[in-house]
Amino acid sequence: MHKIKVQTTQQREILDVTQSVSRILKEAGVMKGVCHLFVPHTTAGIAINENTDPNVRHDMLQALDRMVPAAGEYLHAEGNSAAHILASIVGSSTMAFVENGKLVLGAWQAIYLCEFDGPRMRTVLIKVLPG
């Protein structure tokens, strides 16, 4: 298993971690398989989405904010209930295929760490199963 550390700088943000994941694959020498990515945090998630237009990340955050506003009639004592809900919606894991030592992503796709309770130091765990 490998890990990357990501320092977030805002309460809610979406950060591209594709290059860091690709670097791990290269260092591990994996040529073919499945790359599993997992975020061991209850207030962050991981997703694959558009990487060409930065407005997509902005739009995603705006839509999530409308669905789950930061302020609400939440009961969780820590005051970050919305972050927990958003992390559950986005999900804590994803996967991508690996061929010829590279991630198999669509032409416009990237892997994103989704921060919902930052800023914090986050970890992305990476496990590649050869195949």
Domain of 26, CATH number, reads: 2.60.120.460
Instruction: Supply the range of the domain harboring residue 60.
Output: 2-130
pLDDT of residue 101: 94
What average pLDDT does range 87-114 have in this prediction? 97
Identify the DSSP state of 43.
T
> Structurally, how many domains does the chain consist of?
1
What average pLDDT does range 15-26 have in this prediction? 96
Phi, psi values for residue 22, rounded to 5°? -60, -40
**With contact defined as beta carbons under 8 Å apart, do 22 and 110 qualify?**
no
Comparing 52 with 111, the larger pLDDT belongs to 111
**With contact defined as beta carbons under 8 Å apart, do 33 and 128 qualify?**
yes
Of the ranges 32-36, 67-71, 121-125, which one carries the lowest mean pLDDT score? 67-71
Rounded CA separation 110/78 (Å): 32
What is the average pLDDT score of the chain?
95
Half-sphere exposure of 121 (CA within 13 A, CB side): 3
pLDDT tens column, 95-106: 999 999 999 999
